[in-house]
Amino acid sequence: MFSFPSPRYTPPQPSSLARLKNLLFSASRSRFKKPDASEAKIRLNEGRFKRLLRALHGVSRELRAQLPRKALLLDSVAVTFDRHTCHPSLSVTGDGRGLGLQAPGAAAPPDQHPLRFDRVFCALASVALATGQSYWEVDVRCCDGDDGGGGWAVGVAYACLPRKGRDKGAKLGRNRHSWCVEWREGQLAAWHNDRSVALGVRARPVGRVGVWVNHDKGQLLFYDAGSMELLQAFSAAMTPVFDRARHQFIEPLFPAVRLLEPRGATGRPWANHVEICDLAAL
């Protein structure tokens, strides 16, 4: 039989070992070496660039949200509260745009006025919207349900809305004469004709409510004026839940606000102030 000679092991030469050690040492140094000033500056600039991108993204998002608002502002109308309609415990600021609960012990006006709400903390505006397009905003941040606040309802109503008593006829959205969006106990809902559509639990309450009306076409839209998110649309095509008949406004509409008393608030103060925004100053 033939046998093949086994290969002979040849140990590496000292020069080869030295070169291998040098390569390994160089690799370890390049891997763990301290970055020089130029590399540190590049990394610093990269962090600044990322922060700048985030800031630009936020500005872009805000601008995109404000573009629809700019268009709606072309339809803005001056809205003030009608003092004759306010509940006796509500007071209106001097400019007519603020509405809040009077301090305990304050003299309340007599509630015999036929236009005055006597049991519901509600008020109508003095302007009647009878034709065309109109837009206004209501700041509701002081009635968002935090810090003892109860809630709010913002909407529109016909002049025939009953003013006396606490039944559904005098509450916004609980009858055929009014429409509203309502914030109560962390939940937002749209109301009309005593029917509601839940608009979901929101992580952050709405700060300003934008209201747009096209009286001629029977359209009523509610927005979160901060983000211009459409909260609810009332129209013939979009709200079959509320009224399957053709949705048209048959009377002039009055902007309306209701303050919602928190549960168990009898005898103690609660956050209760809303204000109609001055859009002419924008």
Per-domain boundaries in the chain: 36-74, 76-281
Q: What is the torsional sign of CA 275, 276, 278, 279? A: positive
Q: How far apart are CA 118 and CA 265, in angstroms?
A: 18
Closest CA to 134 of 210, 207, 193, 63: 210
* Number of CB atoms found within 10 A of residue 276's CB: 23
Lowest mean pLDDT of 96-110, 171-185, 250-264, name the range. Answer: 96-110
* CATH 3.20.20.70 for the 76-281 domain, yes or no: no
| pLDDT for the residue numbered 117 | 95
What mean pLDDT do residues 203-208 have?
Answer: 85
**The pLDDT of residue 2 is above 50:** no
Residue 208's region, left for phi above 0, alpha for psi from -120 to 50, else beta, is: beta
- Residue 51: band (very low, low, confident or very high) from pLDDT cuts 50, 70, 90: confident
Report the mean per-residue pLDDT for the chain: 81
Closest CA to 72 of 272, 228, 237, 243: 228
List residues bridging with 257 in a β-sheet: 123, 154
| pLDDT for the residue numbered 29 | 56
* Residue 19 host element (H or E): helix 14-32
**The pLDDT of residue 69 is above 70:** yes
The CA angle 122-277-129, to the nearest 5 degrees, is 65
Find all residues with CB under 8 Å of 101, minimum gap 6, and list them.
Answer: 89, 90, 91, 121, 259, 269, 270, 272, 273
HSE-up (13 A, CA, CB side) for residue 123: 28
pTM: 0.74
